[in-house]
């Protein structure tokens, strides 16, 4: 669902990155925080996940104004049990907190072969693939279960009321000399922020993703943005529903954070994520042929005969790299509604009109 339109503005990634950095510097972020947030948001757009890109800025600005997002916080290890770490996010920028949590996990997995990190109370940690890629770049295998604490927007299988968030799961396998395998998806049929992108663009979402407040199927994204609110369905029927439950419990409960229920339902604009990450050193297994076995499998899978309309068999992580190559050249498309919301947020933080007027748009 990577819709574009003739009315979109296009902006090159470096130009957008510098602008996003200036927005957060103006808001009061330290230089490293502003850079980490800009890198993460622009990379999400580059990989084709506009749902988790710069379109989040207006939401983050509201959360900051309401006190739900706190600038210049760092990941705090609150319990160190060797291979198990518990980390408090303190409602700081997830783009900083998760990066630092992964630094701890990587150091511990290198030392012990495996590390499990329970991260709690971080503000939105965005595209989870970013964190798995950080582990993979360090040569480590990882998987991650995430809850969106207090977001009752997804209905359980067989239900019609939202009971949990879009709870993403992510796993990555590094391949020396090649790009890693990175599987990264919401357990809802689509990420809720993809309904925001469709709502802003005035286009429907794919069929079988949404229901209205009475449980009727709909493709109108407004049911997630205007009362009476509907809910998202899980992916894969009962399987996605079950996986979302495990994400909620592993991430929200085991980290010492919280799960979604009546007393924790969100009231403001902030987005709280908790994440259970398990990070492993592949060298610690007795598996000298692990890479060769993985490559033999990938090659075998690709060789299958294709169904009509499918020119190739892709591996997890490849669509994101395809988008990154395309958008690095052509620029990142942003619809006018989202762009105006971003500019309003920038102005709200005091970014100068001359800076905005000087942006090179395509």
Ligand X SMILES: NC(=O)c1ccc[n+]([C@@H]2O[C@H](COP(=O)([O-])OP(=O)(O)OC[C@H]3O[C@@H](n4cnc5c(N)ncnc54)[C@H](O)[C@@H]3O)[C@@H](O)[C@H]2O)c1
The footprint of ligand X on residues 180-199 (CB under 6 A) is 182-186, 190-191, 194
Select 22 or 248, whichever has its Cβ closest to ligand X: 248
Question: Would you count residue 113 as binding ligand X (CB under 6 A)?
Answer: no
Question: Would you count residue 162 as binding ligand X (CB under 6 A)?
Answer: no
As measured in angstroms, the least distance from the Cβ of 326 to ligand X is 15
Select 105 or 343, whichever has its Cβ closest to ligand X: 105
Please, is 216 exposed, middle or buried when counting C-beta atoms within 10 Å of its C-beta (0-12, 13-18, 19+)? exposed
Select 20 or 190, whichever has its Cβ closest to ligand X: 190
Q: How far apart are CA 127 and CA 79, in angstroms?
A: 26
The footprint of ligand X on residues 247-286 (CB under 6 A) is 273
Q: Which of 92, 88, 40, 28 is nearest to 63 (CA)?
A: 92
216 to 102, 161, 222, 228, 242: CA distances (angstroms): 41, 12, 14, 13, 22
Contact 102, 277 (CB under 8 A): yes
Q: Which of 21, 52, 73, 327 binds ligand X (CB under 6 A)?
A: 52
Question: Would you count residue 120 as binding ligand X (CB under 6 A)?
Answer: no
Select 13 or 150, whichever has its Cβ closest to ligand X: 150
Select 143 or 185, whichever has its Cβ closest to ligand X: 185
What is the secondary structure of 90-148 as a DSSP string? Answer: TTB-HHHHHHHHHHHHHHHHHHHSEEEEEEEEEE----THHHHHHHHHTT-EEEEEEEE
Q: Which of 148, 210, 244, 280 binds ligand X (CB under 6 A)?
A: 148
Q: How many residues bind ligand X (CB under 6 A)?
A: 29
Of 165-173, 197-205, 328-336, 339-347, the segment contacting ligand X by CB under 6 A is: 165-173
Question: Would you count residue 320 as binding ligand X (CB under 6 A)?
Answer: yes
Question: Would you count residue 129 as binding ligand X (CB under 6 A)?
Answer: yes
- The DSSP call for residue 313 is P
Contact 149, 125 (CB under 8 A): no
What is the secondary structure of 247-283 as a DSSP string? Answer: HIIIIIITTTS---SGGG---SS--EEEEEEEEE-GG
Q: How far apart are CA 38 and CA 17, in angstroms?
A: 5
As measured in angstroms, the least distance from the Cβ of 113 to ligand X is 26
Of 61-69, 195-203, 311-319, 341-349, the segment contacting ligand X by CB under 6 A is: 311-319
By CB under 6 A, name the binding residues for ligand X.
49, 51-52, 124-129, 146, 148, 166, 168, 170, 182-186, 190-191, 194, 273, 314-317, 319-320
């Amino acid at each position: 669902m990577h819709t574009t339109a003739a009315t979109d503005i296009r902006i090159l990634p470096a130009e957008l990155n510098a602008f996003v950095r200036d927005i957060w510097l103006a808001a009061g972020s330290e230089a490293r925080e502003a850079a980490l947030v800009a890198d993460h948001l622009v990379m999400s757009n580059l990989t084709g996940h506009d749902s988790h890109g710069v379109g989040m800025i207006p939401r983050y600005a509201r959360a900051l104004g309401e006190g739900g997002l706190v600038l210049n916080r760092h990941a705090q290890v609150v319990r160190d049990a060797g291979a198990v770490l518990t980390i408090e996010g303190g409602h700081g920028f997830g783009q900083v907190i998760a990066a630092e949590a992964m630094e701890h996990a990587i150091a511990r997995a290198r030392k012990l072969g495996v590390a499990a990190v329970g991260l709690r109370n971080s503000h939105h940690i965005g595209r989870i693939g970013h964190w798995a890629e950080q582990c993979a770049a360090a040569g480590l295998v990882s998987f991650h279960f995430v809850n969106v604490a207090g977001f009752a927007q997804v209905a359980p299988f067989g239900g019609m009321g939202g009971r949990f968030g879009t709870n993403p799961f992510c796993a990555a396998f590094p391949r020396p000399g090649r790009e890693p395998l990175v599987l990264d998806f919401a357990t809802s049929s689509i990420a809720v922020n993809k309904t925001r992108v469709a709502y802003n663009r005035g286009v429907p979402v794919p069929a079988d993703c949404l229901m209205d407040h009475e449980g009727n199927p709909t493709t109108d994204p407004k049911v997630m943005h205007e009362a009476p609110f509907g809910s998202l369905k899980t992916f894969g029927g009962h399987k996605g529903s079950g996986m979302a439950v495990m994400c909620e419990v592993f991430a929200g409960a085991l980290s010492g954070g919280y799960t979604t229920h009546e007393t924790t339902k969100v009231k403001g604009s902030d987005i709280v994520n908790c994440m259970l990450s398990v990070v492993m050193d592949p060298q610690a297994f007795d598996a000298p042929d692990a890479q060769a076995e993985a490559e033999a499998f990938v090659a075998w899978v690709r060789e299958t005969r294709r169904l009509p309309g499918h020119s190739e068999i892709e591996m997890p992580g490849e669509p994101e790299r395809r988008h990154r190559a395309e958008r690095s050249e052509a620029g990142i498309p942003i619809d006018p509604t989202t762009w105006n919301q971003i500019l309003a947020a920038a102005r709200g933080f005091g970014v100068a009109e001359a800076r905005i007027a000087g942006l090179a748009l395509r």
